[in-house]
Structures are given as C-alpha cells and as structure tokens.
Amino acid sequence: MVTKRILKIALAATYLFCISGVVSQDIPSLKELFKNDFLIGAALNISQITEKDPVEDALIRRQFNSVTPENIMKAEHMQPRWNEYNFEPSDQLVAYARKNNMKVNGHALIWHSQLPPFMRQMKDKDSVRSFFVNHINTIAARYDGKIDSWDVVNEALEEDGTLRKSIFWEKLGEDYIVEAFRLAQKAAPNTKLYYNDYNIEQPKKRAGAIAIIKKIQAAGVRIDGVGIQGHWRSYDMPLKNIEESVKEFAALGVEVMFTELDLGVLPNPWDGNSAELSKTSEGSARMNPYTAGLPDSVAQTQAKAYADLFKLFLKYRQYITRITFWGVGDGHSWLNGWPIRGRTNYPLLFDRQLQPKPAFFSVVATGK
C-alpha cells in the first residue's frame, strides 16, 4: 500500500519534472531575448505568487523578469475594512519577486473599481479625502524600496478624453490626480510613478492622458511613465494609433509601457447588433465559436498581430521600458469571463496546458 503510494508520488514528480523541463528549458526565454530592449512582465494571481503549480512556476521564472499583481494590491484587498490593511499577500509577492529577481509594478493605488465595500456608498467628502490620503500614504510608504513602481492612478479617463466621473473626481475635484501623485511622491520617493489606462492609444482618450501628464508636470510633481494597457483583438489592431501614442507620450519625457497586453480572438458583442444576438442560443454559439480549440487560421492571425506589435515595440525600444502580459496561460485570462461570461478565449502566448502557441514563436522571431 505504502509502496504503491510512494510509486505514485514518484511518478507524478517525474512527470512534473519532465513537463517543466520541456517548458522551462526547451523553448526560448522572452526575458533573455529582450533583455537589452525592455522588461517582460506578467500579471500574476495569488496561486502563482505562492507557487501552487510547479510547472507554471518554472515557466514564469524562465519567461518573465517583471510582475504586476493581477488583483491583490487593489484597494478592496489591501484595505478591506476602514483603516485595516491586509499586507500579507503583497508581502508574499515582494518575497517571490526578490527570490526570482523580478521587478514589481504595484497595481493600483487609486482606481474607481474594486474599491472596498465601505467606500462604495460613501457620501461625505471628508471621509473620501481621508481614505485617499491614508490609503496612498500607508501603502506607498510601506512598499517604498521594496517594489519598483506604482500605477498611482488607474483608468481616470472616459473614451472622449474627459475625466471619468469617479467617486474621487466627484468628492475631491479634478485635481485629485495631481494630488495622488504628490502624495505618492512624498511617501515613496524611491518608487517610479505611473499613470495607467486602456484605449489611450485612441486619439481623444490619448489627448486626455497627455493633458493629465502635462498637468502633473506643470505642478512640479513627479510622473515617471505612462502605461498603455493593450487589451486589443487580434483581428483588429490599432497599430497606427499605437505608434503615434508611443511618439507623443515619449515626447513628454516619460517612459512608455504596455502594461496589460492580451489579444483576444473572439467577436466583440459591441460591434453591430451582435450584443442582442449574444442572448440567443444561436448568438451564443456565434459569440463563443472556439470551444473545441483554436483553429489554425485564427492562431496564425494572432501570431501575426503579436509579431507586428513586437516589431513596433522594438522600433521604439529607446522609449519603451516594459511589456507586461495580462496573465500567463489562456485558461486563466479574464477575457474568458468578459464581456460575456463563460467563453473560451485565447489571448495570451501560452495555451491552457501552458504550452507555447504560434504567437509565442512569432514574438520570439522578432527578437532574433
């Protein structure tokens, strides 16, 4: 009985060792390939940070030299109750990154989403101000010198380039962004400070981001960089806008980063009238067409999109400091659940078994 169990464990260990051997040693390493160009990061969840899956851990250690916590440093996790902080997961992240020689980008200090429950119905200005000041001071100071950078403010813009009417905008006024950076600069003098948002490659929203950066600079406050999130679709890449954005942001003297890269392959319910269709069974099949696997032609389109993007990143490598993927393998991507729940999406470089996809090899080819 005992011998049988030992045999089973040994077999499992050998299997794991073999797989991790294949994954970790037999394919090129992105962080090595691009080491003179930019950091290569991944958003990690708590089970990845705590090394629950040795195969995945070997892959992460081999491929990435930068980590962004996908959720654990958001306000609802860091300060779940008024003035009660939960530092444990973030401390684990810092230890994990130090052990593996990875940079850490803290995500995010001020964001309208994933706020603690006590914030959601807050009416009174003084309470919002007190949360804002204490949250930034406490967390930025604690991790100064332990992490490398912060997304100080995340997603403060509407699509038309005006400021989002968030609780912070409403209660603190439009200067809250400059104030957030001022507080972060004081509390974390050794940490880089970034503004991060999606769709800011699009002209109107980009103009809004430029206005934010200029306003912070004009106030004499430090902002070190801007993160273009990069949630795009393989069949619809805004390459020209991306290139213009890199140039325009770089001209402001800040670092440019691609911070949440993933290229979905599924239809977008907001195109045409397909949103309505998604509610019918015929519509659901149309909106979720690849449940049986990623067709070769779609994988090739995605590989080309990733290659085009990395060629552009390399062209502007003097301005671009980091490329972070929003996840590791397709199985855990947020895009399986958004904007429609329960779909099978394929946005990343590694598949559901953590094997490299054609997109991985097309990215590798640009780096050679």
* Euclidean distance between CA atoms 172 and 165, whole angstroms: 11
Tokens of 167: 């609780």
CA-atom Rg of the chain in angstroms:
21
**Least distance CB 180 / ligand 9MR (angstroms):** 16
Helix (H) / strand (E) element for 306: namely helix 296-315
Q: Measure Cα distances from 48 to 3, 13, 70, 234 in Å.
A: 32, 19, 10, 26
Q: How many residues does the chain have?
A: 368
Q: Name the 3-class secondary structure at 17.
A: helix
Q: Which CB sits closer to ligand 9MR, 350 or 358?
A: 350
**Least distance CB 74 / ligand 9MR (angstroms):** 7
Q: Which CB sits closer to ligand 9MR, 8 or 52?
A: 52
Q: Measure Cα distances from 192 to 151, 160, 184, 254, 315 in Å.
A: 9, 28, 9, 11, 24
Interface residues with ligand 9MR (CB under 6 A) are 70-71, 113-114, 229, 260, 334
| Residue 42, beta-bridge partner list | 67, 325
**Least distance CB 229 / ligand 9MR (angstroms):** 6
Q: Which CB sits closer to ligand 9MR, 77 or 186?
A: 77
Q: Which CB sits closer to ligand 9MR, 90 or 362?
A: 90
User: In the complex, which residue's CB is closest to ligand 9MR?
Assistant: 334
**Least distance CB 79 / ligand 9MR (angstroms):** 16
* Euclidean distance between CA atoms 308 and 235, whole angstroms: 12
Q: Name the 3-class secondary structure at 32.
A: helix
Q: Is 155 a catalytic residue?
A: yes
Q: Are 50 and 27 in contact (CB under 8 A)?
A: no
* Catalytic site residue from 70, 155, 179, 248: 155
Q: Are 245 and 228 in contact (CB under 8 A)?
A: yes
**Least distance CB 334 / ligand 9MR (angstroms):** 4
Q: Which CB sits closer to ligand 9MR, 103 or 112?
A: 112
Q: Which CB sits closer to ligand 9MR, 153 or 299?
A: 153
Q: Are 234 and 295 in contact (CB under 8 A)?
A: no
* Catalytic site residue from 179, 201, 248, 260: 260
* Euclidean distance between CA atoms 106 and 109, whole angstroms: 8
Q: Is 179 a catalytic residue?
A: no
**Least distance CB 71 / ligand 9MR (angstroms):** 5
Catalytic residues: 155, 260
